[in-house]
Amino acid sequence: MSQAATAFNDVTYGERPGTPAAYRLVADLDEHLQSHGAQAR
């Protein structure tokens, strides 16, 4: 999760260009959290 947060911060606040690998990291985490959130309901 911390790697995804770092990638997000670098692009959003650090004005660094995103990479395909960083995008995939954040997207995978998002999908994982959404699938576990749906199970908790």
Q: What is the pLDDT of residues 2-36, one digit of tens each?
A: 999 999 999 999 989 999 999 999 999 999 999 98
Q: Tally Cβ neighbours within 10 Å of residue 29.
A: 16
Measured CA distances, 18 to 1, 14, 30 (Å): 17, 11, 16
pLDDT given at position 37? 82
Full-model pTM: 0.71
The range of the structural domain enclosing residue 12 comes to 2-40
For residues 5 and 3, give the distance between their C-alpha atoms in angstroms, rounded to a whole number: 5
Measured CA distances, 19 to 4, 12, 38 (Å): 12, 13, 29
pLDDT given at position 24? 95
Number of domains the chain is built from: 1
